[in-house]
Amino acid sequence: MTTSYAFVFARGGSKGLPGKNLKLLLGKPLIQYSIELALQTSGIDKVFVSTDDNDIAKVSRSLGAIVIDRPAELAQDDSPEWQAWKHAVSWVRERYGEFEEFISLPATSPLRSVKDVESAILKKSNIGADICIAITPASRSPYFNMVKASGNNLIELVNKPTNSISRRQDASEVFDITTVVYVANVEFIMNNASLFDGTVTSIEVPKHRAVDIDDIYDFNFAESILNNTFNKDD
């Protein structure tokens, strides 16, 4: 049987929205949504929170998570998330032994559902991929309405189609990567340096469950969705 552990990575510092991981969203600290959902998801054996912040650590423990003391050098604005993942895996292996499956549930995606996480776990297993991520339909397309500078004060499409495209619907379908869920093989994380170094599969989630809170506007949007009970399993 596969041993699966969930991880929530929550730094104390946030420039876009100071104190966001503990900011109350409908009366609950933001991080509580990820911890509670992990505890409700079948197949997850333990829940860990990696943080450099004492207050986040205290709240996380009170909610039933095991706290990983993240080094300061891995908790900066420019710290690679992948290195924090590797540190967490090593920390857990030293204290709890080997495990096979790593599930990251970022605190900034409070609108995900248990169904999203369980679907990602199942999809990775069925496909035999190294990692499963969550995606959502993109609002803009590099084939139709996304441009880049081409020099001499001119611009061009990011990806030029081979045939003329007059409608966005005629362009290849593209998606945004979300922070809803990442399910990966532990050995893949430890032996590689980035997401697309291996075989990647995905689950699609609707936009109303894919909100990623980075600033107060995202936070207010998430609050509005929750207040209007739009976050349903569908």
Residue 231 pLDDT class (50, 70, 90 cuts): very low
- The overall average pLDDT reported for the chain is 91
DSSP designation for 65: P
Do the Cβ atoms of 7 and 105 come closer than 8 Å?
yes
Q: What is the mean pLDDT of residues 212-226?
A: 95
Q: What is the pTM of this model?
A: 0.89
Answer whether residue 36 shows pLDDT above 70: yes
DSSP code per residue over 208-224: GG-----SHHHHHHHHH
> For residue 230, what pLDDT is reported?
47
pLDDT 10s digits, 140-163: 888 777 889 988 889 888 887 766
> For residue 72, what pLDDT is reported?
87
> For residue 233, what pLDDT is reported?
47
Q: What is the dihedral of CA 64, 70, 74, 76, to 10 degrees?
A: 70
Answer whether residue 13 shows pLDDT above 80: no
pLDDT 10s digits, 43-98: 999 999 999 999 999 999 999 999 999 998 888 877 889 999 999 999 999 999 99
**Cα–Cα distance for residue pair 119/204, rounded to 1 Å:** 10
> For residue 35, what pLDDT is reported?
98
> For residue 18, what pLDDT is reported?
86
**Cα–Cα distance for residue pair 179/105, rounded to 1 Å:** 7
> For residue 218, what pLDDT is reported?
95
